[in-house]
Amino acid sequence: MSPAPDGAAATPAEPAGDRAAALRFGYGTNGFANHRLTDALRVIADLGYEGVALTLDHDHLDPFAPDLARRTARTADLLRDLGLAVVIETGARYLLDPRRKHAPTLLHDDRALRLDFLRRAIAIGADLGAEAVSFWAGVRPAGVPADLAWRRLVDGCAEAGAVAADAGIPLGFEPEPGMLVEDIAGWHRLRAELGAPAWFGLTLDIGHCRCLEPIGVADCVTAVAEHLVNVQIDDMRRGVHEHLEFGTGEIDFPPVLGALAAGGYRGLVAVELPRHSHAAPTVAASSLTFLRAAADNAPSFLGNGRRCAADHGPQPAHDDGEDRDPRGGDDPERAGSAVGGFAGGGEAERAESAGGGFAGATGGAPERAGSAADGFVAGGFMDGAGTDGRAS
């Protein structure tokens, strides 16, 4: 029973399932790359989604188009007519450079173009009434020392944050496997160096928690709930950064959705399947059916003092699906793991922690707290110019 003020009769606590069912599901337009933006938005709305994670791209509200103001106004009208909320995503491929995927980032010598893009994204977000603008660090370029890359990241975030603060829109920084900030511990370090500003929130990809965090997925959500401004959701396997359709990875979703609801998160929970555009309407429909069922089942995992049953799939060996480069390749998303551990050279060093909690980092690139029980080893996702770490 919930406590009642002034001696009034107590009222029953809201069931966890009711809270989870109140979550607002959205879909990422990067999963509709072969659709016109207007068509994608209509399909997403017709399926029953409440919002979209809009990735600014060549054919999806190109932020460098000469008629951007007109396109933005038309998109705002359509979103309003369809009743769709929106967050802005900034992870399009080859938008800033036709030869380097996701480059330049805030870490590159020519990072001014990335800053200009982020300013444009924030302005578009403000015009659309977006709930957040999401961005990430990028992979440390070859030849850029770790300490210089980190300083560039901090300075770039501060510049973007000043613009966001003036626009009244929060930034959601996303830890991305293989990037300079790839995990929650790295996000905490970056936030601290920025002075913990109000505009600096967290974009959490649920799949990434399963991929590399040292604690369970639902526990990750609980640990960062107060900082969340944007949530991406997808299935994933341990040690393999590949965004999977629901039910084909290792994540147990009812406790995850329950943790989001219990933590008071009221933003969008947007499906992130950027490699499924070939079947976008079908995948989007099945994804919403799955998420609604998972939300309805949340009560069996919460309440009465019981701890959420976090994901408990097996520790996988290599998954040689067609999306993953079996060599480790040039995309940190598809860095596989042997027997659930992280092998090979990589950007971020891991600080082992037998307790499995988040650990701070000292000096150089961000470090991640690993857990010996989880099979983390030194090294990790590969590093190099032109890689991106994003499931796209």
Q: Indicate yes or no: pTM above 0.85.
A: no
* Joined tokens for residue 65: 């188009």
Question: Across the strands, what pairs with 204?
Answer: 231
* Joined tokens for residue 364: 């150089």
Per-residue pLDDT tens digits for 202-220: 999 999 999 999 999 999 9
> Which alpha helices (H) appear in the chain, and where do they start and end?
16-21, 37-47, 68-82, 112-128, 146-167, 184-194, 206-212, 217-224, 253-262, 280-296
Helix axes 217-224, 253-262, angle to 10 degrees: 10
Per-residue pLDDT tens digits for 278-337: 999 999 999 999 999 999 998 544 443 333 333 433 333 333 333 333 223 334 333 333
Helix axes 253-262, 280-296, angle to 10 degrees: 70
Per-residue pLDDT tens digits for 355-375: 333 233 323 333 333 332 233
Position 16 scores a pLDDT of 53
Position 53 scores a pLDDT of 99
The greatest distance separating any two alpha carbons of the chain, rounded to the nearest whole angstrom, comes to 68
Q: How many C-beta neighbours within 10 Å does residue 193 have?
A: 14
Per-residue pLDDT tens digits for 7-27: 334 334 455 556 676 899 999
The vertex-222 CA angle with 364 and 343, nearest 5°, equals 40
365 CB-side CA count, 13 A: 24
- Distance, in Å, from the CA atom of 215 to the CA atom of 286, rounded to the nearest integer, reads 28
Q: Is the dihedral of CA 30, 32, 260, 76 positive or negative?
A: positive
Domains along the sequence of the chain with CATH: 14-301 (3.20.20.150)
